[in-house]
Amino acid sequence: MGYKIGLDLGSTAIKMVLVKNNEIAWSRKVPTAPGQEALALELVKGAVSECGLKESDIDQIAATGYGKKLMSAAGHTVDEISANAQGLHWLSEGRCRTIINIGGQDLKVINLNENGRIADFKMNDKCAAGTGRFFEQAARILDTPLESFGEMSKLADEPLELNSTCVVFAESEIVSLLAKGVPKERIIKGLHHSVARRITHLLGNRNTPKSGDIYLDGGPSQNPGLLEALEDELLMEVKVLPNPQFTVAFGATLSLN
């Protein structure tokens, strides 16, 4: 008894957390595919089974993300911006004032007030530039696993100046650079900086917190190369919590309170 489930049905991955007393007891993600509700229910079954629970131990399910309305088993839905705000406010113990969230297909900057409520937010327009999809595409063109980006980025002295964060144009630019023999490390470092600049523009001076901390979350926040580039562009410290891709799903469970 007393367990809650938070499901974040995103554009590229479905993330789930099992929570008891506002602590994450179990978490997992699977790639988004047709039949999102069935995939999410599989995750729920997996959590129940692996944690030795019965389905009746689950009190409530909250869904968030683009696919939240597909989840008929969820008794409660919340928009992902509010869920993100609540999740990070709790997990940062109230220190967070700005969230930079990099999702599969969007970028968000969320400003919080001292109570963890949304003070303001900005999102990119309908373009995958600088999002998780952009990194996936770059990894494919570079024939390099995304997990290696952080380490490879550190090997480059100077980032290469990349002109485009557009998924389509960046592809031709990267192909052209590879053809010229530019080392992958420099290209990757350049990619991190170009995305960091895009985030900095979205953040703007107005949204830069005057107090409190900036946190980066979403899948790409696990890339230390991107974090370093972002701190370099912002000239500010940016924090990342453990398991940053589950913040939104966790925040959804807090909205049940």
Residues in contact with other proteins by CB under 8 A are 66, 79-82, 106, 113, 115, 117-121, 123, 125-126, 206
> In the complex with other proteins, which residue's Cβ is closer, 59 or 120?
120
Q: How far is the CB of 125 from other proteins (least distance, A)?
A: 6
Residue closer to other proteins (CB basis): 22 or 113:
113
In angstroms, rounded to a whole number, what is the distance separating the alpha carbons of residues 38 and 170?
35
Report DSSP letters for 115-145, one per residue: TS-EEEEEE--S--TTSHHHHHHHHHHHT--
Phi, psi of 239 (to 5 degrees): -100, 150
CB of 18 or CB of 74, closer to other proteins: 74
Q: What is the spatial distance between Cα 70 and Cα 135, in angstroms, rounded to a whole number?
A: 27
Question: Measured between alpha carbons, how far is 91 from 83 in angstroms, rounded to an integer?
Answer: 12
Closer by beta carbon to other proteins, 28 or else 122: 122
For residues 112 and 97, the answer to whether their CB atoms sit within 8 Å is yes
Sequence-distant (6+) residues with CB within 8 A of 154 are: 224, 225, 228
Q: CB-wise, 131 or 222, nearer to other proteins?
A: 131
